[in-house]
Structure 1
Amino acid sequence: MNTSVLTAGIALLHLLGMFAAMHAVTHTRTPQGAIGWALGLLLLPYVTLLPYLYLGSSRFLGYHPGHAVAPPRAQPEVSPGAAPIAPACARFSAIGALQGRPFRSGHRLRLLIDGEAAFRVMLAAMAAAEHCLLVQFFIIHDDVLGRRLQQVLLQRAAAGVRVCVLFDGVGSHALPQHYIDTLRAGGVAIHRFATHRWRNRFQLNFRNHRKIVVVDGKRAFIGGLNVGDEYLGLKPPLAPWRDTQLELRGPAVADLQQLFADDWRWITGELPPLLPSPADGDASALVVASGPADPLETGSLFFTAAIHAARERVWLSTPYFVPDNAVRSALQLAVLRGVDVRVLIPARPDHRTVFLASTLHAHHAVRAGIRVFRYQPGFLHQKALLIDRDSAAIGSMNLDSRSFRLNFEVTALVVDTAFAGAVETMLGEDFSRSLAVTEAEYRDAPYLRRVAMHVARLFDPLL
């Protein structure tokens, strides 16, 4: 009897594995992923069925972002009282069409370098909110910085300001319930961004990696910083923590409000307050949003289009260098065009598997003529892109498949010579604190470490 039950159970698992393999072949985004899942589900369903349930979906179902359906061409938009759109925006017309929103003129921008300076400005801006405060982070910790944020939010709510807070359910899994309850008791509307609906219920891969703060519809902040003491450089061995945030004023703040509203409506069914975002400068900017609900692979296409637009230089800073074929080819073609291509990556790992895969990708990049550098003082977490002498992007997108396909992300692409000059100065200082990667890094590594790099690369679609 027991043998018959066991045999029937094994047969059922293999049958379920076969159906799951058929689903993987028809729905997985990459051929490598489809082959990997299909073989595992057919040969070892008792090992792979449960992981596939949690990790196998490639689309975030039911979510409809405002930029998901793009027109054939997104024309630049001049805001009332603003300077004309920068002519160089035309080089990035494909990115505007991909987003379904135009470049807008009339922006004032400021780089906020590293955590203490960035949070000093952001918390002061939040404390000055008079009408509405929208706050979204991938990670919020209940530590010194997290409690500083909590107090500002409670004070603003007590003053009658509408305060709406989103945090990612996976990224902030350690956030205690009493932190949330304290905010709700003080009048703050706070919610966990989760997969939420039954079709996505078991999926852990989809994460909202955006960091957005909007104050009264006039000032916005985006970038790489989350809320935690480690982002202030207070937690060895990764300290000091190198990161960058962008303060943005002008019409594109309305687009950031709309992105927050898309996420807020997904969770609550309601819209947060949306306030006017007047012109406040001369720079042209485009908000670039991406996510697993997009019909196209927006993150990868953004980097590919931006790199193809370069004629003089492409400087990239990313904590995770795991490019897909399209981005890798774009970087290689840029080198062949004579473009100065540099990639800045960490010298210290925060995730071992990603670091091993990044090391192998860095080796292949160096062999293709791409200059790769490792930042030495501490952990590099900033996500910055510099194109030629007039364009730069700051946001939350990493150069990996997770940001390309699995995370909700946001970046601001700015066309403005002065802002690009500020990014050049910042990255120039970072490169001066870095060491060039050579072929010897891979060649002289122990054999087993080289094998580990190649094994880690097999997981590129999930990194």
Structure 2
Amino acid sequence: MEIGSILIAIIAALVLWVYADFTLGRKKHLASAKTNTLPVRESNLAIFAEGPKLFEDLFSELKNAKEHIHILFYIVQDDKISQEFLSILKDRVKAGVEVRLMVDWVGNGLKRKTIQDLKAAGVEFAYSQMPKLPFLFYSSQVRNHRKITVIDGQTAYLGGFNIGKEYNNQDPKLSPWRDYHLKMTGEGVTDLQSEFLEDWQAAAKVNLLQNQAYFPSLEKGSSRQQLVPTEGLLLEDMMSDLINNANQSIFIGTPYFIPSKRVFELLRAAIKRGVSVTILVPLVSDHILVKEASHPYLRTLIKDGADVYQYLKGFYHAKVLVVDDSVCDVGTANFDKRSMFLNYELNCLIYDKEFIKKVKTILTEDLLNSRKATVEDFSPVSVLVSLKETTARTISYFL
């Protein structure tokens, strides 16, 4: 009896600590979170939906770097494709190129020896978002989920891909991997460079933002776009505005559909006013409970009149939102509470209708490789599944 009472007391104290840590940590974070609005730029854009094609292009550009390479990924694994990537970085250092690599402290998969080898080769390395006191639990949940590559201040990439075998169609459980990643040249690269250097300053405690060598003069491109960096704030506002302003159609592609209450109700309201809502999610999952967390939302939206599709040809990891064929959002943020309220994310709003047509061509192909879902596809079929849904709903903030 005494042991049971002690265990209950310990669990209660732990729950109380986690609650207080998270609540106070978030309050402090929001008080200092960046809310800067970046300008609309004119840039040249290309989109990649397949890992092998992206890595071929990215690695080629890295090999041709002349002055500096700045890279941030949420994940860099320690496998064959990752070693090829890291070898390129070390080779560029030998050629006199400045190379900086930053990875998320939780998300990365690099071994200590690999990191030591990188540093010994001259690659400047930093962990982003290391947990810290006094709010250890909260800071461990705030991840830098951005993916940024800037080469010579002139060519840049951002989107959903990380570096690892699964992203290169070499994981039998998740292949082929479907994702969307942008390549950018033109004046918008300036903002990507700034975002990387701001994150580098936070992680490495080195301020390089005033170094004009990293900001060459850039010409305008053909597509109007606007970068939207968020950190546990503003993403819900951005998504809400896009949905609320929709008149004809909304397309959402995401691996994890766990919207906030506000965004969910705005989607329901859009359907009621006659807006066509289409949602594309994967059939298979790469994380525990994320499918179960999405089921109540998807059941309700299907009943309301939304079209929901499940991707069949591998794993769907893309993050895209298209409204009225006039604005397209591609970036790093998932359509879930973690991206909206915890993670550091980076999205790109695109206002060029010709480029949006290219995106829609990809979406059409992905829908052809999907099946239309019914309410029954997302309904509990056993007590275990019901229990998973309840558990997922309880911890949906952290999935």
Both proteins in one fold, TM over 0.5: yes
Equivalent of 1:321 in 257, 260, 275:
257
Distance (Å, rounded) in 2 between the aligned partners of 1:216 and 1:135: 11
Distance (Å, rounded) in 2 between the aligned partners of 1:54 and 1:377: 42
Distance (Å, rounded) in 2 between the aligned partners of 1:139 and 1:279: 32
CA contact (8 A) 2:333 2:339 kept: yes
Distance (Å, rounded) in 2 between the aligned partners of 1:333 and 1:366: 13
Deviation at 1:333, TM superposition (A): 2.0
Trace 1:20-419 onto structure 2 (pairs within 5 A). 44-49=11-16, 51-52=18-19, 57-59=25-27, 61=29, 68-69=34-35, 99-104=36-41, 106-172=42-108, 174-195=109-130, 197-202=132-137, 203-272=139-208, 274-276=214-216, 278-292=218-232, 297-419=233-355
Distance (Å, rounded) in 1 between the aligned partners of 2:325 and 2:297: 27
3-state DSSP class of the match of 1:198? Answer: coil
Structure 2, unaligned runs of 5 or more: none
Q: Tell me which moved more, 443-452 or 315-324.
A: 443-452
Q: Are residues 62 and 326 of structure 1, via their aligned partners in 2, closer, same or farther at CA, if it must alter by over 3 Å?
A: closer
Distance (Å, rounded) in 2 between the aligned partners of 1:185 and 1:62: 38
Deviation at 1:404, TM superposition (A): 0.5
Counterpart of 1:328, as a letter, is F
* Match of residue 79 from structure 1: none
Distance (Å, rounded) in 1 between the aligned partners of 2:16 and 2:57: 47
CA deviation string 1:179-200 (max 9, x = no partner): 1111111111011113365344
3-state DSSP class of the match of 1:279? Answer: coil
Distance (Å, rounded) in 1 between the aligned partners of 2:248 and 2:30: 42
* Match of residue 27 from structure 1: none
Deviation at 1:461, TM superposition (A): 2.0
CA contact (8 A) 2:380 2:386 kept: no
CA deviation string 1:187-244 (max 9, x = no partner): 1101111336534445310110000001111111001111110111211211111111
Q: Are residues 47 and 61 of structure 1, via their aligned partners in 2, closer, same or farther at CA, if it must alter by over 3 Å?
A: closer
Distance (Å, rounded) in 1 between the aligned partners of 2:361 and 2:307: 18
* Match of residue 32 from structure 1: none
CA contact (8 A) 1:442 1:450 kept: no
Counterpart of 1:102, as a letter, is P
Q: Tell me which moved more, 160-169 or 446-455.
A: 446-455
3-state DSSP class of the match of 1:214? Answer: strand
* Match of residue 76 from structure 1: none
Counterpart of 1:190, as a letter, is F
CA deviation string 1:132-154 (max 9, x = no partner): 11100001111111111111111
* Match of residue 428 from structure 1: 364
Deviation at 1:55, TM superposition (A): 5.4
**Is 1:438 the counterpart of 2:378 in the alignment?**
no
Deviation at 1:263, TM superposition (A): 1.0
3-state DSSP class of the match of 1:204? Answer: helix
Distance (Å, rounded) in 1 between the aligned partners of 2:65 and 2:32: 29
3-state DSSP class of the match of 2:345? Answer: strand
Q: Tell me which moved more, 185-194 or 197-206.
A: 197-206
Distance (Å, rounded) in 1 between the aligned partners of 2:301 and 2:338: 20
3-state DSSP class of the match of 1:209? Answer: coil
Larger radius of gyration: 1
Structure 1, unaligned runs of 5 or more: 18-43, 70-98
CA deviation string 1:154-187 (max 9, x = no partner): 1111111111110001001x31111111111111
Deviation at 1:277, TM superposition (A): 5.2
Number of aligned residue pairs: 392
CA contact (8 A) 2:259 2:337 kept: yes
Deviation at 1:280, TM superposition (A): 4.0
**Is 1:448 the counterpart of 2:384 in the alignment?**
yes
3-state DSSP class of the match of 2:239? Answer: helix
Q: Tell me which moved more, 420-429 or 153-162.
A: 153-162
Counterpart of 1:245, as a letter, is H
Distance (Å, rounded) in 2 between the aligned partners of 1:48 and 1:54: 10
Distance (Å, rounded) in 2 between the aligned partners of 1:228 and 1:206: 22
Counterpart of 2:26, as a letter, is S
Deviation at 1:313, TM superposition (A): 1.4
Deviation at 1:447, TM superposition (A): 4.2
Distance (Å, rounded) in 1 between the aligned partners of 2:93 and 2:326: 40
CA contact (8 A) 1:241 1:378 kept: yes
CA contact (8 A) 1:196 1:267 kept: no
Counterpart of 2:221, as a letter, is G
3-state DSSP class of the match of 2:141? Answer: coil
Q: Tell me which moved more, 398-407 or 446-455.
A: 446-455
Distance (Å, rounded) in 2 between the aligned partners of 1:250 and 1:317: 27
Counterpart of 2:37, as a letter, is G
CA deviation string 1:301-340 (max 9, x = no partner): 1111111222221111100000011111221122123222
Deviation at 1:249, TM superposition (A): 1.4
CA deviation string 1:58-85 (max 9, x = no partner): 25649956xx24xxxxxxxxxxxxxxxx
Counterpart of 1:132, as a letter, is H
Distance (Å, rounded) in 1 between the aligned partners of 2:135 and 2:199: 15
Distance (Å, rounded) in 2 between the aligned partners of 1:59 and 1:107: 37
Counterpart of 1:175, as a letter, is L
Distance (Å, rounded) in 1 between the aligned partners of 2:31 and 2:60: 33
